[in-house]
Amino acid sequence: METDPTPRLDTAHWLDEGQQRSWRALVMGTTLLFDRLDDDLRRGFDISLGEYEILVRLSERDGRMRMAQLADAVAHSRSRVTHTIARMEKAGLVERTTSPEDGRGIVAVMTEGGYALLRRVAPTHVNGVRDHLVDLIDPADFEALGRVMNAVADHLVAGHPEMEMRQR
């Protein structure tokens, strides 16, 4: 006989009023922030925030990363990154090749077009991050936000050891 894995209402550790307010503020704020940053890039450069993040990650690794590492770096599924890379490849921003180390793995490689777009897009993105987050809050609060989100990421990655191993 199988047991239902769904927690019962009477066993939930409910948020108090202040925690609920903070949680809803986090959800609303991050949703609006990411939507605005994405919209700025789409309107100005016809690139999504996710595609921009992939270009950034590639640029930080000499323009090339194995697909599995790239998926982990941007915290997306391999399938989602594969679809995104396919769109970016059609746009001439990246190419996929086999890994020179073992010939089996697939590597995403940023093209000159990808580098050129990243150089054009980066100021808009950075200014958006400043205008809509960094410059709105006290520097100590921004540092605290970074610590909090690192703790969340560490906790969630620890729950998935395969991600932790690939990120090393």
Q: Is the pLDDT of residue 59 over 70?
A: yes
pLDDT in tens, 96-153: 999 887 777 899 999 999 999 999 999 999 999 999 999 999 999 999 999 999 999 9
Query: pLDDT value at position 158?
Result: 83
Q: Which residues pair with 155 in a beta bridge?
A: none
Q: What are the φ and ψ backbone dihedral angles of 145, each rounded to 5 degrees?
A: -60, -45
pLDDT at 163 over 60: no
**With a threshold of 0.75, does the pTM exceed it?**
yes
| Nearest of 127, 97, 109 to residue 59 by alpha carbon | 109
Alpha-carbon separation of residue 57 from 25, 97, 109, 151 (angstroms): 28, 17, 11, 21
Q: Which CATH architecture has domain 47-121?
A: Orthogonal Bundle (1.10)
Under 8 Å between Cβ of 88 and 94: yes
Strand-pairing partners, residue 107, are 66, 97
166: confidence class by pLDDT, cuts 50, 70, 90: very low
Band of pLDDT at residue 27, cut at 50, 70 and 90: very high
CA–CA distances in Å: residue 98 to residues 1, 35, 78, 165: 48, 34, 16, 21
Q: What are the boundaries of each domain within the chain?
A: 47-121
Q: Please, which pLDDT band fits residue 46 given cuts at 50, 70 and 90?
A: very high
Q: What is the mean pLDDT of residues 57-85?
A: 94
Q: Which amino acid is at 95?
A: E
Cα-based distances in Å from 133 to 34, 109, 139, 151: 11, 31, 11, 20
Distance CA 63, CA 57 (A): 8
- The angle formed by the CA atoms of residues 132, 134 and 135, to the nearest 5 degrees, is 80
Could you tell me which of 139, 123, 114, 109 has the C-alpha nearest to residue 40? 123
Say yes or no to pLDDT of 54 above 90. Answer: yes
Report helix, strand or coil for 122: helix
Average pLDDT of the residues in 50-59: 97
What is the model's pLDDT at position 160? 67
Is the pLDDT score of 164 beyond 50? no
